[in-house]
């Protein structure tokens, strides 16, 4: 592979040095090579869902064609192979995030992973305590803390958990520019805090949370940390042990994998004490007509037939990302994010949300076009084959705080070229002239 | 979609109505009103109808809301349409508009029924945008239902 020399300086851009490798990567993605609205597709919606490389699709099909068998049951050869591949996929994904295999639980998506933790607390609070521990018992007087910029997936499950248990839900506010009010953290995170749930990277702003500092404050008060890593694990190296979080969640489809699979990471000691969420077959050891004994983690949390081919495809996605190198993917996307941010602030009537150019941001940027609704912006860009996300991006409270109901988001991935970023910037500059008749 | 098709969706009349909006701003004298939200995008519109006490017809439609060019132009064009129409006639026209919007472009709008609102016909080919165009019309329909209800209409 050609060497990559990305830079955070948007005006210095090593397109030549990098272009050959990105082109090679792009050849692996059949989805990139299609026309939309009579134009070559410019896919800038990877933060919503990533395109899939042939290697991932092949892995899933190969398993479905030749290896299909029930896992963790059956004595025949195929059943044994399927089990081996399924657990091998778990080990691959675990190693990718610096975790042990028994700390990785398969879920349907990140939302289910957060609900798994929330319902573990909930079940513990209504009397289902494993080994007599009170670690997950919540009640009146306890507090759950989130931040104001959370995706609804990391908000509603905690609202509901608070409602069921009588605990209070508090939040760390953001400024009107979307910056976390870390100055208020010591007031919000205190002795009553039992859970601190927050996003590693904001899906709207692209800003990066001060994970170490938040973990330090949570630990100081004995609170459990839950990290929404949906926008970080796909795009940069993440080591959950090094971050020191207790739980972390992410989804497969945002990291070149299939839909229908997500991951919950849980620190071993905590998973061991967490009551199950879904119950049934596959998660038990001994069953009588009256009661059941549960398996140890991770299988305690995997009731019923599992997402086997999806897990294997997700492991193939991880292999693909590792081969390119997460460090380089992170650098490349950081550069594309800066290019987007710098370009957007230079367009008349456009308001960039989140960190200013030059400040750390992921490979995405959301913006508001003054006087033009985000849906109209999205429609206009679609007319040029450019796919972006419009709306509230499942973060209504954040948009309200920013004084908006909707915004437009362009998000990149390892297959995004600098030219594609420039194309969306060019097109955004044409939006107000088209709708409002203003000069460019 | 080609540039010509983008122009078919955002006809000049639509862009004009999105900028120079007719009927925007609720009145203290309104008879009934209905607020509708598009859960897909969070856009909302409140449509207010005022009944002419002499004729019983709809004297005027006012509205307030946040939305895209399609939904605001749609509210503005609807405001132009209602003047002095009997309620049941307006209900019929809303029904025709809905049929056109749901037709995926196969049903030609009747200009006698919809007047300038025929400019919205291009929306019918964009399934994701039909709700935007429909929002004020659904609110109007709901307000008309309140007028027809035997119980007292919701006070404004």
A287, A301, A269, A324: which is closest to A96 by C-alpha? Answer: A324
B83 in Cβ contact with B66 (< 8 Å): no
CB contact under 8 A, B43 and A405: yes
CB contact under 8 A, B5 and A435: no
Among A375, A392, A436, beta carbon nearest to B68 = A375
pLDDT band at residue A293 using 50, 70 and 90 as cut-offs: very high
Torsion of CA B69, B75, B80, B84, to 10 degrees: 180
CB contact under 8 A, A375 and B70: yes
CB contact under 8 A, A391 and B42: yes
Taking CA B135 as the corner, what is the angle to CA B131 and CA B141, rounded to the nearest 5 degrees? 125
Q: Chain A interface, mutation test: which of B16, B41, B123, most A Cβ atoms within 10 Å?
A: B41
- Residue A77: predicted pLDDT: 85
Q: Which residues of A304-324 are buried (b: 16+ CB within 10 A; e: fewer)?
A: eebbbbbbbbbbbbbbbbeeb
- Residue A128: predicted pLDDT: 64
pLDDT band at residue A102 using 50, 70 and 90 as cut-offs: very high
Q: What percent of chain A has pLDDT over 90?
A: 85
- Residue A343: predicted pLDDT: 98
Q: Is the pLDDT of residue A173 over 80?
A: yes
Q: Compare A418 and A70 and report the one with higher pLDDT.
A: A418
Q: Report chain B residues whose CB lies below 8 A from the CB of A407.
A: none
Q: Is the pLDDT of residue A8 over 50?
A: no
Q: What is the 3-state secondary structure (H, E, C) of A190-215?
A: CCCEEEEEEECECCCCCCECCHHHHH
* Nearest-CA distance B69 → chain A (Å): 7
Question: Known catalytic residues of A?
Answer: 394
Q: CA–CA distance from B2 to each of A377, A378, A380, A388, B122 (Å)?
A: 16, 15, 11, 18, 13
A364, A368, A356: which is closest to A337 by C-alpha? Answer: A364
pLDDT band at residue A20 using 50, 70 and 90 as cut-offs: confident
The string of pLDDT tens digits covering residues A193-240 is 999 999 999 999 999 999 999 999 999 999 999 999 999 999 999 999
Q: How far is A199 from A323, CA to CA, in rounded Å?
A: 26
Taking CA A43 as the corner, what is the angle to CA A37 and CA A44, rounded to the nearest 5 degrees? 125
Domains, in order of start, for chain A: 15-54+325-436 (3.90.1150.10), 68-322 (3.40.640.10)
Neighbours of A344 (CB within 10 A): 24
CB contact under 8 A, B69 and A372: yes
Record the tokens describing residue A80, joined without a space.
Answer: 């044994």
pLDDT band at residue A69 using 50, 70 and 90 as cut-offs: confident
pLDDT band at residue A99 using 50, 70 and 90 as cut-offs: very high
A156, A116, A135: which is closest to A223 by C-alpha? Answer: A135
Q: 3-class SS at B32?
A: strand
Q: Is the pLDDT of residue A418 over 70?
A: yes
B6 in Cβ contact with A383 (< 8 Å): yes
Question: Within 13 Å and on the Cβ side, how many CA atoms surround A421?
Answer: 27
Q: 3-class SS at B1?
A: coil
Q: How far is A149 from A132, CA to CA, in rounded Å?
A: 36
Lowest-confidence range among A123-127, A359-363, B49-53, B83-87?
Answer: A123-127
Q: Is the pLDDT of residue A262 over 60?
A: yes
Q: What are phi and psi of B38, to 5 degrees?
A: -95, 105
* Nearest-CA distance B96 → chain A (Å): 25
- Residue A70: predicted pLDDT: 81
Lowest-confidence range among A166-170, A231-235, A245-249, A436-440?
Answer: A436-440
Q: Where are the beta strands (DSSP E) in B20-137?
A: 32-38, 43-51, 58-66
The string of pLDDT tens digits covering residues B107-155 is 999 999 999 999 999 999 998 899 999 999 999 999 999 998 855 555 5
Q: Is the pLDDT of residue A7 over 50?
A: no
CB contact under 8 A, B6 and A380: yes
CB contact under 8 A, B68 and A376: yes
B149, B151, B112, B140: which is closest to B33 by C-alpha? Answer: B140
Q: Report chain B residues whose CB lies below 8 A from the CB of A435.
A: 10, 15, 18, 69
pLDDT band at residue A17 using 50, 70 and 90 as cut-offs: low
Residue appearing with tokens 């509603």: A156
DSSP B54: T
Record the tokens describing residue A212, joined without a space.
Answer: 């170490």
Q: Is the pLDDT of residue A73 over 60?
A: yes
Q: Report chain A residues whose CB lies below 8 A from the CB of B1.
A: 37-38, 382-383
Record the tokens describing residue A46, joined without a space.
Answer: 């990877």
Average pLDDT over residues A281-298: 93
A113, A130, A102, A125: which is closest to A275 by C-alpha? Answer: A130
Is the link from the previous residue into A298 a cis peptide, with omega within 30 of 0? yes
Record the tokens describing residue A190, joined without a space.
Answer: 């205190």
Q: Report chain A residues whose CB lies below 8 A from the CB of B68.
A: 373-376
Q: How far is A229 from A153, CA to CA, in rounded Å?
A: 12
Q: Is the pLDDT of residue B55 over 50?
A: yes
Listed ranges A252-261, A278-287, B3-12; the one with the highest mean pLDDT: A252-261
Domains, in order of start, for chain B: 28-148 (3.90.1010.10)
Q: Report chain B residues whose CB lies below 8 A from the CB of A405.
A: 41-43, 66
Sheet holding B32-38, edge to edge: B32-38, B43-51, B58-66
Q: How far is A153 from A114, CA to CA, in rounded Å?
A: 7
- Residue B35: predicted pLDDT: 96
Q: Is the pLDDT of residue A381 over 60?
A: yes
A198, A208, A180, A114: which is closest to A153 by C-alpha? Answer: A114
Neighbours of A152 (CB within 10 A): 15
A101 in Cβ contact with A91 (< 8 Å): yes
Q: How far is A415 from A250, CA to CA, in rounded Å?
A: 20
Q: How far is A311 from A332, CA to CA, in rounded Å?
A: 27
CB contact under 8 A, A435 and B2: no
Q: Is the pLDDT of residue A5 over 80?
A: no
- Residue A126: predicted pLDDT: 87
Among A372, A406, A435, beta carbon nearest to B42 = A406
Lowest-confidence range among A284-298, A332-346, B37-51?
Answer: B37-51
Q: Is the pLDDT of residue A3 over 70?
A: no
Q: Is the pLDDT of residue B56 over 60?
A: yes
Helices B69-81 and B12-19, packing angle to 10 deg: 90
B108, B103, B98, B56: which is closest to B78 by C-alpha? Answer: B98
A296, burial (CB in 10 Å: exposed 0-12, middle 13-18, buried 19+): exposed
Q: How far is B151 from B149, CA to CA, in rounded Å?
A: 5
Interface of A with B in 101-160 (CB under 8 A): none
């Amino acid at each position: 592979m050609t060497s990559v020399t990305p830079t955070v300086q948007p005006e210095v851009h090593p397109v030549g040095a990098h272009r050959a490798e990105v082109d090679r990567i792009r050849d692996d993605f059949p989805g990139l090579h299609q026309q939309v609205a009579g134009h070559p597709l410019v896919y800038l919606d990877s933060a919503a869902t990533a395109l899939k490389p042939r290697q991932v699709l092949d892995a899933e099909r190969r398993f479905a064609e030749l290896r299909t068998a029930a896992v963790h049951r059956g004595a025949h050869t195929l059943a044994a192979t399927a089990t081996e591949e399924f657990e091998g996929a778990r080990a691959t994904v675990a190693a990718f995030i610096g975790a042990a295999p028994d700390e990785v639980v398969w879920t349907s998506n990140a939302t289910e992973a957060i609900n798994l933790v929330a319902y573990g607390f909930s079940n513990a609070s209504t009397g289902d305590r494993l080994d007599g521990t009170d670690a997950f018992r919540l009640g009146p007087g306890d507090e759950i803390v989130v931040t104001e910029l959370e995706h609804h997936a990391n908000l509603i499950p905690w609202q509901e958990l608070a409602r069921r248990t009588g605990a209070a839900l508090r939040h760390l506010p953001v400024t009107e520019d979307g910056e976390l009010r870390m100055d208020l953290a010591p007031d919000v995170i205190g002795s009553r805090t039992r859970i601190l749930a927050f996003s590693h990277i904001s899906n709207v702003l692209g800003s990066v949370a001060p994970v170490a500092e938040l973990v330090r404050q949570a630990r100081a008060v004995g609170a459990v940390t839950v990290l929404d890593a949906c926008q970080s694990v796909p795009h940069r190296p993440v080591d959950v042990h090094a971050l020191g979080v207790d739980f972390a969640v992410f989804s497969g489809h945002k990291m070149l994998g299939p839909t229908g699979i997500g991951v919950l990471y849980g620190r071993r000691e905590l998973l061991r004490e967490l009551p199950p969420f879904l119950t049934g077959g596959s998660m038990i050891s001994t069953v009588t007509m009256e009661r059941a004994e549960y398996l140890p983690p991770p299988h305690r949390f995997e009731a019923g037939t599992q997402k086997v081919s999806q897990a294997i495809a997700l492991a193939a996605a991880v292999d693909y990302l590792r081969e390119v190198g997460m460090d380089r993917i992170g650098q490349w996307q950081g550069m594309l994010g800066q290019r987007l941010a710098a370009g957007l602030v230079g367009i008349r009537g456009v308001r960039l949300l989140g960190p200013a150019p030059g400040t750390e941001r992921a490979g995405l940027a959301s913006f508001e076009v003054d006087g033009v609704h985000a849906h109209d912006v999205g429609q206009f860009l679609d007319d040029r084959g450019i796919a972006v996300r419009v709306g509230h991006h499942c973060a209504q409270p954040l948009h309200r705080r920013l004084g908006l109901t909707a915004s437009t988001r362009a998000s990149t991935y390892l297959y995004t070229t600098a030219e594609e970023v420039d194309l969306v910037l060019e097109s955004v500059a044409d939006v107000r002239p088209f709708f409002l008749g203003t000069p460019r | 979609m080609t540039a010509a098709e983008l122009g078919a969706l955002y006809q000049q009349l639509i862009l004009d109505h999105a900028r120079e909006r007719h009927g925007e701003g609720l009145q203290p004298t309104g008879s009934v009103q209905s607020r509708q939200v598009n859960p897909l995008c969070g856009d909302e519109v409140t449509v207010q109808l005022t009944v002419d006490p002499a004729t019983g017809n709809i004297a005027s439609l006012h509205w307030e809301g946040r939305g895209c060019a399609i939904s605001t132009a749609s509210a503005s064009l609807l405001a132009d349409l209602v003047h002095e129409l009997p309620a049941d006639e307006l209900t019929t026209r809303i029904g025709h508009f809905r049929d056109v919007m749901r037709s995926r472009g196969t049903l030609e709008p009747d200009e006698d029924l919809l007047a300038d609102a025929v400019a919205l016909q291009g929306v019918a080919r964009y399934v994701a945008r039909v709700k935007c165009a429909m929002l004020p019309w659904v609110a109007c329909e709901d307000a008309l239902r309140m007028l027809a209800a035997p119980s007292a209409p919701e006070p404004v």
